[in-house]
Amino acid sequence: MDNSLKKDLKSFVIEELVADAIGIASADDFKEEDCRRIGVVRKAFAESTPLAGGDAQVYQPRDFLPDAKSVIVVGVNSYFGDGPDIKKAKKELRGFVEESHIDIDFLNKNSQRSSDVVDFFNDRGYQCFSLTAGGFPLKLKASECGVGRYGKNAVIQNRELGAWISLSAFITDAEMEFDSPLKDDCGECSICMEACPTGALESPYFCNVWKCLDFNLGHNKKNIPEEIRGLTGNLLGEGCRICRDVCPSNRNLKPVKHGEISSDMIAPELPSILSISDKDWEEKFVPTLFGFFLIEKKYLQRNAAIALGNFMDERAVGSLAEALSNGEEIVREYSAWALGRIKTPKAKGELEKALKKEQNKGVEKEINESLEFIG
Ligand code: SF4
Ligand code: SF4
C-alpha cells in the first residue's frame, strides 16, 4: 500500500491545520455490543432533544459512503483551563458556561479545519465527508485508531490532552494503512465511576445519560428529575467535569491558546439570565455551541432557575418571583421549584401569590409541591 497519502494527510492536519491528534481507522462496521451500548445513548437523545430529529439509529461508516475504506479521526485540545470558582459564583449568584462551548472562534476554526480535510481528499480525486451526524459514534473510531483510549468514564482520553479532546471524523474511499489502538490504561481503577455524583457511570465504559448532569442541562428538553436538579450546582449547560478531573490521565494539562472571552459569558449573573431578552439570547448565545445545544432561550432560563435554587439564597427570591409570571410554563415551573429550595417565608409568600393566578396544571403542581416542601 502506498503510504505517501497518509503521510501527506498527517503532516497537513498537524502542521497546517494545527490539530493535535490524528488517526486512521477502518471503515468496518462497529461491533454489535458497542452498537447496543451506544444505542441506549442515541435513544435518550432521540427522546429528549429536537436536535436528534427523533432518530435513534446507530449508523455504520458505510451508511455514509458505501465504498468507504477509511475513517479519519482528528482531535484538538479543548482544555480552556480551570472550571468554575464556585465560592465566588455563590457570592455573586453567577452561573457557569463551559468556555469551549461559548468560544465562537474555536467553533469556527473547527469547522474550517473540517472543510479543509474534505478538500484535501477531494483535490486528490477521493470522496470524503465530514461525519458530524449525531448517529455516528466517533469515539469508537477514535479509540480504534489510537487517537485516545475509551475510559471507564465513557470519554476518550488522549495521551497528551487527557479527556479534553474535541473530536471530528471523516469518511473517505481513499485506502490508507490503519493506526493501532492504545492500551487500555484503566485497569482496576474506577475512580471516575465512584466520583460521579449521580451514579451515571453505571458500568465501565457506559454512561447512562439520563442520570448525567451534562446531558440533562445541555440536551434534555423534557423533565429534569428532582434528584438531578439538586446536583447541578450553577451549571447552565454542559460543564460537569468531575469524571474527567478525577482521572489520573488529566494532570498538568496545557490550556489551549484562545482569545479573551468576557466573564459575563462564562459566568453570567443568574438573575439577568432568568430574565434575558430575546436580543441578548440571539446575539450572545445563539451563535455558540452552547446556544445550539440549548436551542431555545427558555431552556437557558430553566437552567438559571435550577442554579438559583441550588444556591438557596434569599437574594434570588425577587427574580424567581418575577419569573413566576414568565410566559413560558417551563420557566415558571422551575422557578417554583427553586423558590421551594430557598424555603424562606418570602419565597413561600411568592409561591402562594402565584398559585392564585396560575392556570397551568403542571406549574400548579410544582408550586404545590414546593409549598409542601417548605411546610
Ligand atoms: S459528566 Fe458528571 S454527571 Fe456526567 S458522568 Fe461525568 S461525573 Fe457523572
Ligand atoms: S479515572 Fe480511572 S477508571 Fe476512570 S477513566 Fe481515568 S483511569 Fe479509567
Quick one: what percent of the chain has pLDDT higher than 90?
A: 91
Contact 124, 17 (CB under 8 A): no
Residue nearest (by alpha carbon) to ligand 2 atom 3: 190
pLDDT tens track for 192-251: 999 999 999 999 999 999 999 999 999 999 999 999 999 999 999 999 999 999 999 898
Rounded to whole angstroms, how far apart are CA atoms 101 and 94? Answer: 17
Give the 3-state secondary structure of the chain.
CCCHHHHHHHHHHHHHCCCCEEEEEECCCCCHHHHHHHHHHHHHHHHHCHHHCCCCCCCCHHHHCCCCCEEEEEEEECCCCCCCCHHHHHHHCECECCHHHHCHHHHHHHHHHHHHHHHHHHCCCCCEEECCCCCCCHHHHHHHCCCCEECCCCCEEECCCECCEEEEEEEECCCCCCCCCCCCCCCCCCHHHHHCCCCCCCECCECCHHHCHHHHHHCCCCCCCHHHHCCCCCECCCCCCHHHHCCHHHCCCCCCCCCCCCHHHHCCEHHHHHCCCHHHHHHHHCCCHHHHHHCCHHHHHHHHHHHHHHHCCHHHHHHHHHHCCCCCHHHHHHHHHHHHHHCCHHHHHHHHHHHHHCCCHHHHHHHHHHHHHHC
Please give the distance, rounded to the nearest whole angstrom, from the Cα atom of residue 195 to the centre of ligand 2.
Answer: 10
What pLDDT sits at residue 216? 98
User: Average of pLDDT values for 99-109?
Assistant: 93
Q: Which ligand is nearest to the CA of 246?
A: 2
Q: Which ligand is nearest to the CA of 155?
A: 2
Residue nearest (by alpha carbon) to ligand 1 atom 1: 240
pLDDT tier at 3, thresholds 50, 70, 90: confident
Rounded to whole angstroms, how far apart are CA atoms 214 and 208? Answer: 11
CB atoms within 10 A of CB 31: 10
Using most ligand atoms within 8 A of CB, pick from 149, 150, 249 the residue to mutate for ligand 2. Answer: 249
Please give the distance, rounded to the nearest whole angstrom, from the Cα atom of residue 240 to the centre of ligand 1.
Answer: 6
User: Average of pLDDT values for 146-153?
Assistant: 95
pLDDT tier at 264, thresholds 50, 70, 90: confident
Please give the distance, rounded to the nearest whole angstrom, from the Cα atom of residue 80 to the centre of ligand 2.
Answer: 21
Please give the distance, rounded to the nearest whole angstrom, from the Cα atom of residue 157 to the centre of ligand 2.
Answer: 9
pLDDT tens track for 270-288: 999 999 999 999 999 999 9
Mean per-residue pLDDT of the chain: 95
Residue nearest (by alpha carbon) to ligand 2 atom 2: 189
Q: Which domains does the chain have, with CATH numbers?
A: 4-80+98-172 (no CATH), 216-374 (1.25.10)
